[in-house]
């Protein structure tokens, strides 16, 4: 399993041809208390950098972008019921959706953990 990051503060965990996507702990700390999450529909084809989900906090609403192209194969229904999971476990239970990866070459432009930490420092 490999974890990669985007400059827009999404993380991806790559397992085979599936990427699980969520927002980073840094992102949730900037958002404040999350009150609503809108997830993409299963079966939706996403292009890299396309808005895929919405996260709303007491401060602002932000789009969550697809870090790579692929088809949504699963969404985290627990987030719709309990959006505050984003604040308590951004890097774990608060994943947003899973994509079947369309083009593995798109992974090349993403950051590893060390590069992401440098990006947010």
Rg over alpha carbons for the chain, rounded to the nearest Å, is 13
Q: Are 85 and 11 in contact (CB under 8 A)?
A: no
Pairing outcome for strands 34-38 and 51-57: antiparallel
Q: Are 72 and 41 in contact (CB under 8 A)?
A: yes
The answer to whether residue 58 is domain-embedded is yes
The answer to whether residue 82 is domain-embedded is yes
Q: How many domains does the chain have?
A: 1
Q: What CATH number should be reported for the domain holding residue 39?
A: 2.40.50.100
The answer to whether residue 18 is domain-embedded is yes
The answer to whether residue 112 is domain-embedded is no
The answer to whether residue 116 is domain-embedded is no
Residue 6: domain span: 2-106
Q: Are 89 and 98 in contact (CB under 8 A)?
A: no
Q: Are 19 and 31 in contact (CB under 8 A)?
A: no
pLDDT, position 1 = 86
The answer to whether residue 114 is domain-embedded is no
The answer to whether residue 113 is domain-embedded is no
pTM: 0.95
pLDDT, position 69 = 98
Q: Are 53 and 37 in contact (CB under 8 A)?
A: yes
pLDDT along the chain (121 residues), means of 10: 95 97 96 96 97 95 96 96 96 97 96 96 91
The answer to whether residue 111 is domain-embedded is no
Q: Are 57 and 110 in contact (CB under 8 A)?
A: no
**Whole-number Cα distances in Å, 70 to 82, 102, 109:** 26, 5, 16
């Amino acid at each position: 399993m490999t974890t990669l990051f985007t400059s827009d503060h999404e993380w991806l965990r790559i397992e085979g041809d599936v990427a699980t996507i969520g927002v980073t702990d840094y992102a949730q700390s900037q958002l404040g208390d999350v009150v609503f999450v809108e997830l993409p529909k299963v079966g939706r084809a996403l292009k890299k950098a396309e808005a895929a989900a919405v996260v709303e906090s007491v401060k602002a609403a932000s789009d969550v972008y697809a870090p790579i192209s692929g088809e949504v194969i699963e969404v985290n229904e627990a987030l719709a019921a309990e959006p505050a999971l984003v604040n308590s476990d951004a890097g774990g239970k608060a994943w947003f959706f899973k994509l079947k990866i369309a083009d593995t070459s798109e992974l090349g432009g993403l950051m590893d953990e060390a590069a992401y930490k440098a990006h947010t420092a």
